[in-house]
Amino acid sequence: MSLTLCNHLYSCTFISSLHQSHNFIKLSPNSLKFSPNKSRIRILYPTRRKRVIISAAVNGYSAVQGSNSDETHVDFGEKVRNFVENFRAILPGGRWWKFDDDVQIEMMAKSVSVWKALSRMWELISEDRVLVFAAFAALIVTALSEISIPHFLTASIFTAQSGQVAVFHRNVRLLVLLCVTSGICSGLRGCFFGIANMILVKRMRETLYSTLLLQDISFFDAETVGDLTSRLGADCQQVSRVIGNDLNLIFRNVLQATGALIYLLVLSWPLGLITLAICCALFTIMLFYGKYQKKAAKLTQEFTASSNEVAQETLSLMRTVRVYGTEHHETQRYNKWLDRLADISLRQSAAYGIWNLSFNTLYHSVQVTAVLIGGMSILAGSLTAEQLTKFILYSEWLIYSTWWVGDNVSSLMQSVGASEKVFQLMDLSPSDQFTHQGLKLEKLSGRIEFKDICFYYSSRETVSVLQHINLVVHPSEVVAIVGLSGSGKSTLVNLLLRLYEPKSGQILIDGYPLKDLDTKWMRERIGYVGQEPRLFHMDISSNIRYGCTRNITQEDVESAAKQAYAHGFISALPNGYKTIVDDDLLSGGQKQRIAIARAIIRDPSILILDEATSALDAESEYNVKGVIRAVRNDLKTKRTVVVIAHRLSTIQAADRIVVMNGGRIVETGSHMELLKKDGMYSQLTGRQADAVA
Ligand SMILES: Nc1ncnc2c1ncn2[C@@H]1O[C@H](COP(=O)(O)OP(=O)(O)OP(=O)(O)O)[C@@H](O)[C@H]1O
């Protein structure tokens, strides 16, 4: 049965119930609609390393399976109990407020303390510490000027009332000076903190991006692009508030609150202590609120990342979505995450409401207490009206500052929550390939030897993909690897490209272990054309030059394009080699030809071609055969060619054919030798011949 969640709140109840019971679902019959042709409910939680799938057999769900008449028999007592339970759930601290139900704990990044997060941020910005110090200096001057204003304001009014002209003028002059100073320093403070923040976010993104680019390929097998771009975008943006907003305002308000408190205690210590007690209560509420917001922020980041993941996947597969007419389904898939985001936001807003309510209540209680006790003190003659006015002004100041501190601490907590995953990713060590300084040979002849290679992908440890592969490819030899789909051909090439490391065995290049060779040096000497070549969003010329470290002229580009049979169609494009392309603007065959030109221009000692298996067959075959022919005819440049071949004519052009099955090499030899053997190869060619016939 498929399940439609009628409204957002019910969806939360549903998900919560799923988590609570794990096996049994408690659902409100009103909230769900079932269609009879499916049998499972699946909820996917994207996690960093795995997706948790909760499946619930709906057929075993008797309460909903029954007719609607069940609903009418719910007795009054049950209804009241449900009402009371729901009411208790929405009270502060109730079940509705808890986030734990919403998400598996392993999807969260390791929690970092505020101090740890701040010290990490300081590491990133410490290079520009002068700017930060200048910002803090401006902040201190602003805070001190602002906190002195109410004193001189009140003093000016009361000195005018009592006719002390000289003192009145001095107070007004000081007032003007304080206003001007606080105005200027406030501007400088905002500007310096803003710049410091911009630097922090820029460094954070730079560091994160460069760390990601240096990870092993297996890291990208486990992470999704949408998730990573979300860390770079939304998460870093959230952290951007830390210095420019949160810290800046926290420090300002802490300073002002401290000043106001001292002033109040000097003015009247009993009233000062009462105000302090109220502020402590406010601060305690604020701590709970801050923690709550931090957790909410972490979930918001997770769900934003998940929604980005869905959007990115759908938009990049837009043609498939259109052809299969799944727009509505995809919208629902996206909406599911939006609903969860809205749910978090709903609770955040409700928490904000409670926080504001507490503040208002406590704020007004300070006013009332001050007027009551202060008024009685005036009547008793122990306090003047001027002192009480100052007291009320400063107590307002104190409580407002406490409120601001609370507000900004909660915002800081949110930023810290958002930064956790970013720091976790930033802490990843780069792949060994980038840290290890390997050997650089004087000359590479292109001899490749696979020695007893075994391999499985870390994401599927139980599935052995290559088993005891032994193969020698001689310099300038053209070797075709053939076999059924999934037999491990591309994996073998991936190991040669060092995208993955063998689990056992060794790959030798010119007799040297591939692991000992300098990866960058080695890759510069390999040309690779994948089965589905991808192009960058830049002009064709730049796409062909991509990654080539030697000096390249436009003639070199055109010559490589001619060898790859790409010159003709490129010249026919409106802007020729300057035409901006990307993955969608050219046909599969045209992209492949550009990728071949990109491989040829490097003048590689080892050329690896993965022939396309799909609809491109004929064109791909023509292109690949052309490259092999060119290698054969060009006696000056010696190249070893490894081609993963699917077509008979490509295979025949090879010096040697290696047949793979189930991760093993089962046959090797020339076309004729293998046909005579009447083994797997002859079966494969027989099948292809039948297909052509
Ligand atoms: N990144 C990966 N993570 C986990 N398993 C993978 C990964 N890439 C490939 N595999 C699995 O490894 C096995 C071999 O795949 P491989 O791509 O090497 O086969 P192939 O012979 O090149 O197939 P084809 O001719 O269809 O391209 C397959 O079972 C595949 O599902």
Please name the residues in contact with 479: beta carbons below 8 A apart, sequence gap of 6 or more.
Answer: 473, 640, 641, 642, 643, 654, 655, 656, 657, 658
What value does the mean pLDDT take over residues 108-114? 65
Output the CA 396–ligand 1 centroid distance in Å: 68
What value does the mean pLDDT take over residues 439-449? 87
- Nearest ligand 1 atom, CA 487: 21
- Nearest ligand 1 atom, CA 663: 14
pLDDT at residue 507 tops 90: yes
pLDDT at residue 95 tops 60: yes
DSSP 135-152: HHHHHHHHHHHHHHHHHH
Higher model confidence: residue 410 or residue 457? 457
Count CB-CB contacts under 10 A for residue 144. 16
What value does the mean pLDDT take over residues 622-642? 68
Mean pLDDT of the chain: 78
Please name the residues in contact with 542: beta carbons below 8 A apart, sequence gap of 6 or more.
Answer: 536
pLDDT digits (tens, 9 = 90+) for 672-693: 888 888 888 888 777 766 555 5
Mutation probe of ligand 1 site: the residue of 461, 467, 487 with most atoms within 8 A of C-beta: 487
Dist CA 124 CA 437 (whole Å): 27
pLDDT at residue 286 tops 90: no
pLDDT at residue 123 tops 90: no
DSSP 391-426: HHHHHHHHHHHHHHHHHHHHHHHHHHHHHHHHHHHH
Higher model confidence: residue 59 or residue 636? 636
Dist CA 457 CA 466 (whole Å): 10
So what's the pLDDT on residue 50? 36
Output the CA 463–ligand 1 centroid distance in Å: 11
From 298-312, 613-627, 645-659, the region with the lowest mean pLDDT:
613-627
Output the CA 491–ligand 1 centroid distance in Å: 6
Q: Whose CA is nearest to atom 7 of ligand 1?
A: 457
What the block records as the tokens of 66 is 């029954």
Q: Whose CA is nearest to atom 1 of ligand 1?
A: 221
Higher model confidence: residue 3 or residue 182? 182
- Nearest ligand 1 atom, CA 483: 21
Residue 417 binned pLDDT confidence (cut-offs 50, 70, 90): confident
What value does the mean pLDDT take over residues 459-475? 89
DSSP letter assigned to residue 470: E
Instruction: Evaluate whether 53 touches 44 at the Cβ level (below 8 Å).
Output: yes
So what's the pLDDT on residue 258? 87
So what's the ipTM on this one?
A: 0.96
So what's the pLDDT on residue 449? 93
- 565, 608, 607: which is closest to 590 by C-alpha? 565
Dist CA 206 CA 227 (whole Å): 17
Higher model confidence: residue 621 or residue 499? 499
pLDDT digits (tens, 9 = 90+) for 611-631: 754 444 555 566 666 666 666
pLDDT at residue 213 tops 70: yes
DSSP H helices, 427-462, are 432-435
What value does the mean pLDDT take over residues 301-326? 84
Mutation probe of ligand 1 site: the residue of 216, 482, 490 with most atoms within 8 A of C-beta: 490
pLDDT digits (tens, 9 = 90+) for 141-154: 988 888 888 888 88
- 654, 596, 601, 658: which is closest to 629 by C-alpha? 654
Output the CA 467–ligand 1 centroid distance in Å: 14
pLDDT at residue 26 tops 60: no
Q: Whose CA is nearest to atom 6 of ligand 1?
A: 457
Higher model confidence: residue 630 or residue 239? 239
- Nearest ligand 1 atom, CA 646: 25
Which range, 87-91, 201-205, 294-298, 565-569, is most confident? Answer: 201-205
What value does the mean pLDDT take over residues 490-512? 91
So what's the pLDDT on residue 24? 33
- Nearest ligand 1 atom, CA 613: 25
pLDDT at residue 137 tops 80: yes
So what's the pLDDT on residue 688? 67
So what's the pLDDT on residue 371? 82
Which range, 49-53, 338-342, 378-382, is most confident? Answer: 338-342
Output the CA 489–ligand 1 centroid distance in Å: 8
From 298-312, 444-458, 481-495, the region with the lowest mean pLDDT:
298-312
Q: Whose CA is nearest to atom 30 of ligand 1?
A: 486
Output the CA 235–ligand 1 centroid distance in Å: 34
pLDDT at residue 72 tops 60: no
pLDDT digits (tens, 9 = 90+) for 255-277: 888 888 888 888 778 778 888 88
Output the CA 208–ligand 1 centroid distance in Å: 30
Question: Over pLDDT 70: what percentage of the chain?
Answer: 81
Torsion sign (Cα): 196, 201, 207, 210: negative
- 480, 422, 9, 13: which is closest to 232 by C-alpha? 422
So what's the pLDDT on residue 31? 37
Q: Tell me which residues have their CB closer than 6 angstroms to ligand 1.
A: 221, 457, 459-460, 465, 483, 485-491, 613
Count CB-CB contacts under 10 A for residue 69. 7
Dist CA 329 CA 589 (whole Å): 32
From 39-53, 447-461, 534-548, the region with the lowest mean pLDDT:
39-53
Parallel, antiparallel or unpaired: strands 656-661 and 478-483: parallel
So what's the pLDDT on residue 43? 35
Instruction: State the helix-helix crossing angle for 385-426 and 269-316, rounded to 10 degrees.
Output: 30
Residue 109 binned pLDDT confidence (cut-offs 50, 70, 90): low
